[in-house]
Structure 1
């Protein structure tokens, strides 16, 4: 089922302010089980970063999986289809989730605080996280979620019309709609918009470096710091995630790290300490870390929410390790929702969950002690 761009955006953008205050911000999705029809502007779009093999097979080199895709079948993510020995993306210009959100929801706390962003997501993912909060779209195909026709040009025009500061590629893993994201980001930058990439950090280096030329900020979900966690709960691998983090740092793109702490699965404080030490040694002390509270979801409804004391202990360890900007998320009203100056302790940005109440940063510096605060503070 498709929807007109105007009718869908009127619905999605009109609801954005309300949905943006939701506890986890589940995106609005269009539900349908219709097969996508390729016609007009929705003709299949040939994928980037793949190789043609013998027997009509192709190998996708976009992410760490390097899927070998047989004719007439799809890769692991469900979005890339082999048609007659060529690889095509099924979701180019076909988002199933479009919404205006506060930038704090990404979360990006050092990026134009208090601004609004246009968030775009599609069906599919290259991870299979059993705790996913957006599983309604990440575990489904485009046939199951439905979509709207919103090619890059229209996405950028919609962002400009809604007067947002940036376009964010988010909700599901944007790697699986790489071509759509790449073209939209290029156009957005050319029109004066900023861009955000929220990722599980599994993209291969070549496509990542090309994409980052058009990205202003990245939010990385560092789900844990053990290979076993990645294998057993996400059916993925930690190693490419760490390599991606170093590549982003090498490219000089602004980055913030999100660690969702799940009771009994990744709440060992020794592992948290190891993670913080690795971040300090490989990325630096100025990369913000968000310790977010888990809420029961998808296949982990049997576990309780993360105790607040666990989050506070993780924050204490990160601070002791030398990380300068550490916040606690998904606990509305906690004092660690706010960002403080590491030199003088002044509250730089006072927040309650996703709502900004006060900003004490002038020209990128603490209002009180003039300490330079890393981030993107102006257009």
Structure 2
């Protein structure tokens, strides 16, 4: 197969931080809905998964994420894609994708990771969270046979990205934690071709799996969806503490470049005091240089009755985080050039001027410094800015 056969256009698709203490759960978390089907499913062609334990009662426990689903033969986990096949746990979506697109890296969003470059993005199906506001719900809540049309090996994806001139491959749309084996193998195939690997994740992963998952990831955008346990449990079906632990662990124990994103939902996680407490936690635990993105919510899935996020809410949140002491705070999903611009944290010189993901001006030096004062700009920067622009190009792997 020639390289130029791999990708073809497709049809359109200061102060001490206040850390939240775990709050009592509103009710007891039920067992995931994994009752045995009348006819036991089998997946003889699916690869054996990692991170599972055989229990004394005969069930198999998935150890990948904090849910720790316990499965009888033929059952699937909460994520729907990790399942029990006989006496083993399998990943049913390995090598199968819900679609591919070439995007600007800023759309992930990553503002300090090889700006302007092109990224081959893809996801699979399923999710280990239950976000009522999910804006990719048609993928994350799908049963894999509804969505998975593209068949692609890790090396095939890496070759396709290389032939298309992409700098990176991003695991996104649904959470790569649930297809970790596929993501890890693809990341390693990317490295063999000099490409980067990016994880766009909610960070809901168990400690036993963190090291192996994040080791091959060159960058990660981790969703910090809110800053109260009540919000996490009622709106996402997960727990805040697990996500905070993941963020701190990745920062302290890996070389992965990390940026954070919070989707601000009116009346749910956008209170000024919550934004301030979250910003102070980030400053105390991660430091001032981690980029933080505040993104606008648009009504979707089970939150169609909630209005879109006003641009003023994003600007206020950004101002609050900057006042707390964070150096790089951005706004997203709205047209706000000032909120997309990167400025030097020391002298204020404009380093990267953006408009809807497009790079308008770029003055970071070849060695990653401010040209005016010489301050090192935190992040990963190449010798030149990329020029992919703002477009997103759906593609298929042939």
Is the 8 Å Cα contact of residues 4 and 163 (structure 2) preserved in structure 1? no
Give the drift of 1:285.
Answer: 0.5
Q: Deviations over 1:332-368 (max 9, x none)?
A: 2431111111111111111112111111100201122
SS at match of 2:382: coil
- 1:146-185 matches, within 5 Å, as 146-185=148-187
RMSD: 2.0
Between 47-56 and 226-235, report the one with greater CA deviation: 47-56
Change (3 A) 1:237 1:266: same
Does 2:381 match 1:372? no
Separation (CA, whole Å) in 1 of partners of 2:128 and 2:192: 29
Which residue of structure 1 lines up, in the alignment, with residue 291 of structure 2?
288
Q: Deviations over 1:155-187 (max 9, x none)?
A: 111111111001111110111111100111112
Give the drift of 1:38.
Answer: 6.5
SS at match of 1:303: coil
Separation (CA, whole Å) in 1 of partners of 2:197 and 2:120: 10
* Bigger proportion of residues as helix: 1
Q: Deviations over 1:71-103 (max 9, x none)?
A: 101000000111112111011010112111100
Separation (CA, whole Å) in 2 of partners of 1:223 and 1:339: 23
Give the drift of 1:7.
Answer: 8.5
Does 2:318 match 1:315? yes
Is the 8 Å Cα contact of residues 8 and 148 (structure 1) preserved in structure 2? no
Is the 8 Å Cα contact of residues 124 and 148 (structure 2) preserved in structure 1? no
Give the drift of 1:8.
Answer: 8.8
SS at match of 1:365: coil
Separation (CA, whole Å) in 2 of partners of 1:98 and 1:37: 28
Which residue of structure 2 lines up, in the alignment, with residue 115 of structure 1?
117
Q: Deviations over 1:96-136 (max 9, x none)?
A: 12111100000000011110001120000000111111011
Give the drift of 1:144.
Answer: 1.7
Is the 8 Å Cα contact of residues 353 and 360 (structure 2) preserved in structure 1? yes
- 1:282-361 matches, within 5 Å, as 282-361=285-364
Separation (CA, whole Å) in 2 of partners of 1:324 and 1:146: 40
Change (3 A) 1:37 1:96: farther
Is the 8 Å Cα contact of residues 81 and 88 (structure 1) preserved in structure 2? yes
Is the 8 Å Cα contact of residues 261 and 292 (structure 2) preserved in structure 1? yes
Which residue of structure 1 lines up, in the alignment, with residue 396 of structure 2?
none
Does 2:66 match 1:68? no
SS at match of 2:97: coil
Separation (CA, whole Å) in 1 of partners of 2:124 and 2:68: 21
In the alignment, structure 2 segments of 5+ residues that lack a partner are: 14-40, 384-398
Separation (CA, whole Å) in 2 of partners of 1:257 and 1:54: 40
Separation (CA, whole Å) in 2 of partners of 1:223 and 1:112: 25
2:85 paired residue among 83, 86, 90: 83
In the alignment, structure 1 segments of 5+ residues that lack a partner are: 20-35
Change (3 A) 1:231 1:7: farther
Separation (CA, whole Å) in 2 of partners of 1:229 and 1:79: 26
Change (3 A) 1:7 1:158: closer
Q: Deviations over 1:255-297 (max 9, x none)?
A: 0000111100001110111101100000010001011111111
Separation (CA, whole Å) in 1 of partners of 2:227 and 2:89: 34
Separation (CA, whole Å) in 2 of partners of 1:10 and 1:37: 34
Between 241-250 and 151-160, report the one with greater CA deviation: 151-160
TM-score by length of 1: 0.89
